[in-house]
Amino acid sequence: MPCIQTKVNVKISEEKEEVIKSKLGKAIELIPGKSESWLMVSFEDECKLYFKGSKDDKIAFVEVKIFGKASDKAYDDLTAAITDILHEELDISPLNIYVKYEEVDHWGWNGSNF
Amino acid sequence: MPCIQTKVNVKISEEKEEVIKSKLGKAIELIPGKSESWLMVSFEDECKLYFKGSKDDKIAFVEVKIFGKASDKAYDDLTAAITDILHEELDISPLNIYVKYEEVDHWGWNGSNF
Amino acid sequence: MPCIQTKVNVKISEEKEEVIKSKLGKAIELIPGKSESWLMVSFEDECKLYFKGSKDDKIAFVEVKIFGKASDKAYDDLTAAITDILHEELDISPLNIYVKYEEVDHWGWNGSNF
């Protein structure tokens, strides 16, 4: 029951989206117990984003939402992996990438909560 | 002070949107003390969503944000209701619907916080 | 490591967007230790928003996400400031503006977490 929501101010082609989606599906395994088989992923491209008051650079804001909790180490590893993916695939500088985590207590699927 | 944000990868017609909005306005009463008279609702349709690595099926990701807390039972009931609504109105399988909850400590309206 | 995400159901011109962005960059200083030099801002205009069951009025939903915590007083001040900005610049009634806060424990930048 994880979800990764990616907002960027650049265009993501369909091909790139598939590649990034697959890489995120692998990266989520850095959180113990999580895998692509429960992962929901969303992309919003060409967003109106500003960082440090400017929109001139490529920017990404990523929100990772997971049911339950994980260790600091797991979050660190996932931040490194997500940052690498967006840097490699979309040429966004790690200096302009935020990865934010939310630990969720109540999460429903198939009509009832876990 | 609740908010229900719905993201789907299908198109929502204006008529359907009105129907779903009204049903959500009724469903929110499953959380004690909440009603449509304080509910904000957002819809994002034709989103780029993937679940289990695929975008081929109809998918919904719903985020319910409420000021304060509620019981597990109330959240269970609301998950069932929201899932039913999206299944009935948009033909999305409950197997492809996530409903995530956030309990909020600080919430502002009309220029000051509750 | 703050982020302010603004969703409105009206159109925001490029000029207005710049003005609001700058004003939010100043307002964030109401949270001790925060400034525009770490602030990410996003805008989504012409959103499908309903408040109290209606979409006829101008509506705003603002999500403020900060790394760490702040005082009630700081959040109150920021709610007042953000509400003023959206009222002045977009003519949205304070009665139709929600400002929601999320205190974040895990936040990554430049490939690792703070």
Within-domain flag for A11 = yes
B61: β partners? B7, B98
The residue of chain B with its CA nearest to that of C9 is: B42
Inter-chain contacts counted by CB atoms under 8 A, chains B and C:
86
Average pLDDT, chain B: 98
Per-residue DSSP letters for A54-66?
A: B-SS--EEEEEEE
Structural domain contains residue A32: yes
Determine if residue B82 is left, alpha or beta; phi over 0 gives left, psi from -120 to 50 gives alpha, anything else beta.
alpha
Question: Which residues of chain B lie closer than 8 angstroms to A37, CB-CB?
Answer: 52-53
What is the average per-residue pLDDT within C20-33? 98
Q: Is the pLDDT of residue B15 over 90?
A: yes
Query: Closest partner residue to C49 among B42, B105, B110, by Cβ?
Result: B42
pLDDT at C106 over 90: yes
The reply to whether A114 falls in a domain is no
Tell me the CATH number at C64: 3.30.429.10
The nearest CA of chain A is from the CA of B98 a distance in Å of 5
What ipTM describes this predicted complex? 0.97
For residue A64, what pLDDT is reported? 98
In a domain, A95, yes or no: yes
Burial letters for A16-36: b for 16+ Cβ neighbours within 10 Å, e otherwise? ebeebbebbbebbebbeebeb
Q: Is residue A35 part of a domain?
A: yes
Query: Residues of B with CB below 8 A from A65's CB?
Result: 100
Of A21, A109, A112, the CB nearest to B50: A21
* A41 found inside a domain: yes
Query: Could you tell me the residue range of the domain that residue C53 belongs to?
Result: 2-113
Establish if A26 belongs to a structural domain. Answer: yes
Residues A60, A95: contact at Cβ < 8 Å? no
pLDDT of residue A34: 96
Say which residue the tokens 């999206």 belong to: B86
Find chain B residues with C-beta within 8 A of A17's C-beta.
48
Q: Please judge whether C98 and B113 are an interchain contact, meaning their C-beta atoms are less than 8 angstroms apart.
A: no
CB distance from A36 to chain B under 8 Å?
yes
Whole-angstrom distance, CA of residue A28 vs CA of residue A36: 7
Distance CA A91, CA A3 (A): 23
**Chain A: residue whose CA lies nearest to C34:** A52
Give the model's confidence band at C1: pLDDT under 50 very low, under 70 low, under 90 confident, else very high: confident
Average pLDDT over residues B39-50: 98
The whole-number average pLDDT for the span C91-114 is: 98
Triad B111, B112, C2: Cα angle to 5°:
90
How many domains in chain B? Answer: 1
